[in-house]
Amino acid sequence: MKIGILGATGAVGRQMIQCLEEQKIETEELRLFASPRSAGKAMQFKNQELHVEPVSAERLADLDIVLGAVSAELAREYAPLIVKPSAVFIDNSKAFRLDPNVPLVIPEINGSDAKQHHGIIANPNCSTIITLMAAAPIARISPIRNLIASTYQAVSGAGINGLQELTEQTKAVLSASPVNPSVFSAQIAFNCIPWIGSEDEDGYTSEEKKMQDEGRKIMHMPNMNVTCTCVRVPVYRSHSISFSMQCEQKITVEQAKEAIRGFAGVHLVEDGYPMPIDTSNQNDVYVGRIRPDHVFEGGLTMFCCGDQIRKGAAANAVQIISCL
Ligand SMILES: NC(=O)c1ccc[n+]([C@@H]2O[C@H](COP(=O)([O-])OP(=O)(O)OC[C@H]3O[C@@H](n4cnc5c(N)ncnc54)[C@H](OP(=O)(O)O)[C@@H]3O)[C@@H](O)[C@H]2O)c1
């Protein structure tokens, strides 16, 4: 296959290069694209040195698969240059996720949906992927009726600039220098910001709406209700989610643990608890602290963590290639 990566110099794009190698995707040729600012920049793939190119219709023309790791605006702009009878665009942005003609895929949960594509496949929102990887094994016993989640999202979820902002602000605070937020809406060093995305009509942010809207589509559960609060925390990598869920039927803690143990890509933590520092730079989602919920009758409460650049983005997108 001839594969291209759009946004190869960013947090997700760089990780995609590594995931293509790790997942042993047969790659006849890999082409790397980014903004004109990065043209000519050298990057490593296997033992080769590849050079970043600016995007053009000609350079995209003969590729079989393009992995998208750019903004939603750019994904919409470039999609018509990519989509043709033999090419597939696997996009990480929010641009096409809710389009009824675009499969929204987590391979372990709904990998077969990928085959219904019409040229574009969307990778879901990162917190949604990590939460659903933890909830899906339980939902196989009985469909989810209600889910309440709070996220603790790492700064790298906002790309490379988010990582730099946390580092610079931490140094500034420690040296009593002024802090000037630009990527985040407030100071992120030594703080938590309960605001990710833009505001929707009913007071929820755009990031918070994704878990219900995308979750219903991925799980094929149109009646699943989700309330979500998204919080940015001063962690470099790996999103964490605390959530309570109620299924159509009562699920015991033992049933949930048994289901999670048998589900690919999810690791049950029984000794201790999942933490971002332990779950970064790997593809598995870690779930622990599973206990009966005190509000939802027959429900469960738990905590999960996963590397959102890997399973929440790059690793999931590369896995989708194997579903085609
Ligand atoms: N970070 C995460 O954890 C995460 C998780 C899930 C989904 N996503 C989504 O994945 C996408 C990429 O996110 P990211 O975090 O990797 O962002 P990022 O680190 O800011 O990287 C952005 C990439 O876009 C490239 N770019 C900018 N302008 C361009 C242009 N005109 N033409 C071509 N490429 C251009 C940049 O190239 P230059 O280096 O040349 O500027 C860079 O490679 C976004 O849609 C994001 O919402 C991110």
- The residues spanned by each domain of the chain are 2-124+314-321, 128-308
Q: Length of the chain, please?
A: 324
3-state secondary structure of 249: coil
Question: Catalytic residues, which ones?
Answer: 126, 239
Helix (H) or strand (E) run with residue 219 in it: helix 206-219
Is residue 55 lining ligand 1, measured as CB closer than 6 Å? Answer: yes
Separation of alpha carbons 119 and 89, rounded Å: 6
Residue 25: exposed, middle, or buried by beta-carbon count in 10 A (0-12, 13-18, 19+)? Answer: middle
Mean pLDDT, range 204-226, rounded to an integer: 97
What is the pLDDT confidence band of residue 308, given thresholds at 50, 70 and 90?
very high
In this model, does residue 177 exceed pLDDT 90? yes
175 residue type, one letter: S
Which whole-number Å values give the CA distances from 242 to 91, 188, 233, 286, 291, in the listed order?
27, 20, 14, 12, 12
Q: Is the CB of 69 under 6 A from ligand 1?
A: yes
Nearest 5°: the CA angle 256, 262, 268 is 60
Which atom of ligand 1 approaches the CA of 12 most closely?
A: 16
**Res. 86 pLDDT band, cuts 50 70 90:** confident
Q: Tell whether pTM > 0.95.
A: yes
How confident is residue 223, by pLDDT bands cut at 50, 70 and 90? very high
Q: From the alpha carbon of 308, which atom of ligand 1 is closest? A: 3
Q: Which CATH class is domain 128-308?
A: alpha beta
At the topology level, CATH places domain 2-124+314-321 in Rossmann fold (3.40.50)
pLDDT at position 295 is 98
Q: How far is the CA of 8 from the centre of ligand 1 (A)?
A: 8
Q: Is 126 in the pocket of ligand 1 (CB under 6 A)?
A: yes
CA of 35 relative to ligand 1 center, distance in Å: 10
Q: Find out whether the beta carbon of 313 lies less than 6 Å from any atom of ligand 1.
A: yes
**Pocket residue to mutate for ligand 1, from 12, 31, 53, 90, most atoms within 8 A of Cβ:** 12
Asked if residue 10 has its Cβ within 6 Å of ligand 1, the reply is: yes
Between helix 206-219 and helix 126-139 the angle, nearest 10°, is 40
